[in-house]
Each structure stands twice: as structure tokens, then as C-alpha cells.
């Protein structure tokens, strides 16, 4: 049974609980369709709007007179994993039951270890939480040691690190569940970022791990056959939104790197997805990644649409084997006199 790690984009979840609860019903149909096709499914998801909403609510309550305690960002991330996982899990279970399919679904609250010496902790770039005035941000920065930046004339926002994922803490649990045939929801929002203080003692940190990078890490660790990134676009485009826009059916690693260097992919949207696919495909000679829309996932897996990212080393190896076989066959026929007999 082929194993897919499916990374859901924001369009699969919406931006508030009410919208999300409706959208995940459609998301569940796609996931169950693929499961019924015989794929072993592991689902990951983003949490940008959701963790932002939670963080905003907690910040507002703590700083605007409600006298509630300030909530660390790692805890906000874990809350978002819980309620997004609950919506997805319930919707997938309901869809399975409506089709009379007996299959388990489980959400794993997932921690991801990051390196405390990651350069990202020196250069904070990820805006989170609510907007403050300059005076408010300076006061909070003095009290709590937070870093703030001015955000496009809208006020000041806190910024946190975006480090690389190093190790998925609950990997063994996820693997055991997936091996048993359970549809697993994990690494929500890239995982709850934690550091190892020594001897396996973990501690949450204020950071955001890119969801696509963690999904690629998970796919490698689970030895998945394919990483599938579902987004709003049916396929990857170069010269996007220009007169010479071109959709790509296939992309090898060399071309992917070339297009990145030429600036074809936006930093906050398609670029991290392409980089995640390169990371996964590079991990083995026969791994493939697929980028397509939620609605076209089944068609894309059948080769009808989407953009397939592959390692051309594998293709070249097959071609070399075929060439060697053809040469060997010609020599064999020559030795046996078949060619001369045919010419006569």
C-alpha cells in the first residue's frame, strides 16, 4: 500500500471556526476518496489564521483589562492543533461512516524539536499576534523581552523565529498508527516548536515552523512514497499572473532550482512548497512530490493534472539500463547471425 503524506493548505481550513467546520467537510471527502483508492494517508495542515486568532484573543485578554494570564506562543500552537485536528478528525470519521467504511482516524498533538542555536533565533522574521501602538509595543518589549517591528503602517507586531525542523518527537506513535491503517492527522502548523534542554528534557519556544518543511521531514521519516501538497492552485506556474504564464506538468530537481533562482515563486506562498518538495525528493532516488489543488487531488494522482516533482537521476538510470539492454540485444543477435540472415 502506497503511503501519502498530504499537506493541507489554508484553503482547506478557512479562517474562522464556523467557516472551517464547513470547509473540512469537503476536505474530508477528498481524503476518504484517496483512502478508498488504497492509499495509506497521513495528513498535515497549516494553522496561520487559527494560531493568530488564538494569540490575538489571549493577548487582548491579557493586555486590555481582562486580567487573564498571557499565553506563551507554543501553547497557542498546541491549542490550534487540538481544535483543527478535532474538526478534521470528526469530519473524516463522519464521511467514513456515511460510506460504511470501518477505519480509524486519530489526531496526534505533535512536538517538533528545533535547534536552539538555529540562526533563525538571531533574526526574528515571523509576525504573530495583534497590532500595537509604538508606545504599547515598547512597554511590552521592556516587560517581557519581546521583539516588535512596524508592519506596513498598520502598527507594531511581535516577531518570532522560524527555525528548521530537526526531529519529530511523536514520530514513532504516528508511524505505529499509520502502519495499522489509521488515517493520522499530525504536525499541525509545522508542529509545536520545542528545544532539547539535555537528556531528552523538552521545552516549548516562541517560534513558528514552516508547515511544508515539517511535512517534508515527516514524509522522509515515514518513508512515504509521495509528498502531496494541496493548495489553491491546480498546478505550479512560472511567470505567474503574467501574459506568458505557464503551468508545469512536470519539474525535475534541476529545473525546480533554476526556477527558484529566477524568482518565479513567491516567498510567502509557493516558494516554501517547492523547497519542501525538493527536500523530500532529494532524500531518495525514487521519491516524488505532487502539488495540486484539493479538488483535483485524485485526478493529479492519476497523472491527469497537477505538477509532479521528480528526481531525474532515477529516470536517467532507467534510460541507461534500457540503452545497455538494447546494445546487449543487438550484440547477441549479431553473434547469432540473426541480423545477417534478416538482411539476406
Residues taking part in catalysis: 10-11, 126, 211, 273
Contact 39, 51 (CB under 8 A): no
Where are the alpha helices (H) located in the chain, listed in sequence order? 17-36, 48-63, 73-98, 134-144, 171-179, 211-221, 253-261, 270-281, 297-301, 312-336, 338-343
What distances in angstroms separate CA 101 from CA 33, 97, 107, 130, 235, one per listed residue? 11, 6, 19, 43, 31
What distances in angstroms separate CA 197 from CA 161, 165, 205, one per listed residue? 18, 16, 11
Provide the sign of the torsion angle of the four alpha carbons 288, 289, 294, 296, taken in this order: negative
CB atoms inside a 10 Å sphere around CB 237: 18
Amino acid at each position: 500500500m502506497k503511503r501519502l503524506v498530504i499537506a493541507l493548505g489554508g484553503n482547506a481550513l478557512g479562517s474562522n471556526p464556523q467557516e472551517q467546520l464547513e470547509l473540512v467537510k469537503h476536505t474530508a471527502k477528498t481524503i476518504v476518496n484517496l483512502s478508498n483508492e488504497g492509499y495509506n494517508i497521513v495528513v498535515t495542515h497549516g494553522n496561520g489564521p487559527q494560531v493568530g486568532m488564538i494569540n490575538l484573543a489571549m493577548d487582548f485578554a491579557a493586555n486590555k483589562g481582562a486580567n487573564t494570564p498571557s499565553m506563551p506562543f507554543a501553547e497557542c500552537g498546541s491549542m490550534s492543533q487540538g481544535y483543527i485536528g478535532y474538526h478534521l478528525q470528526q469530519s473524516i470519521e463522519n464521511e467514513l461512516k456515511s460510506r460504511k467504511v470501518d477505519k480509524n482516524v486519530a489526531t496526534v498533538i505533535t512536538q517538533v524539536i528545533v535547534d536552539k542555536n538555529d540562526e533563525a533565533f538571531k533574526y526574528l522574521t515571523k509576525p504573530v499576534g495583534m497590532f500595537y501602538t509604538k508606545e504599547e509595543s515598547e512597554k511590552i518589549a521592556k516587560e517581557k523581552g519581546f521583539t516588535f517591528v512596524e508592519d506596513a503602517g498598520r502598527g507594531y507586531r511581535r516577531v518570532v523565529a522560524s527555525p528548521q525542523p530537526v526531529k519529530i518527537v511523536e514520530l514513532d506513535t504516528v508511524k505505529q498508527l499509520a502502519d495499522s491503517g489509521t488515517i493520522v492527522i499530525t504536525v499541525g502548523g509545522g508542529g509545536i516548536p520545542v528545544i532539547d534542554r539535555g537528556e531528552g528534557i523538552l521545552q516549548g519556544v516562541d517560534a513558528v515552523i514552516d508547515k511544508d518543511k515539517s511535512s517534508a521531514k515527516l514524509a522522509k521519516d515515514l518513508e512515504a512514497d509521495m509528498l502531496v501538497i494541496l493548495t489553491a492552485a491546480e498546478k505550479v506556474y512560472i511567470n505567474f499572473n503574467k501574459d506568458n504564464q505557464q503551468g508545469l506538468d512536470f519539474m525535475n530537481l534541476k529545473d525546480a532550482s533554476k526556477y527558484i533562482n529566477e524568482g518565479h515563486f513567491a516567498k510567502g506562498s509557493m516558494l516554501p512548497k517547492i523547497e519542501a518538495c525538493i527536500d523530500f525528493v532529494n532524500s531518495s532516488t525514487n521519491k516524488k512530490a505532487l502539488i495540486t489543488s484539493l479538488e483535483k487531488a485524485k485526478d493529479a494522482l492519476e497523472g491527469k493534472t497537477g505538477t509532479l516533482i521528480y528526481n531525474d537521476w532515477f529516470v536517467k538510470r532507467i534510460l541507461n539500463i534500457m540503452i545497455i539492454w538494447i546494445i546487449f540485444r543487438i550484440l547477441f543477435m549479431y553473434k547469432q547471425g540473426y541480423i545477417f540472415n534478416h538482411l539476406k
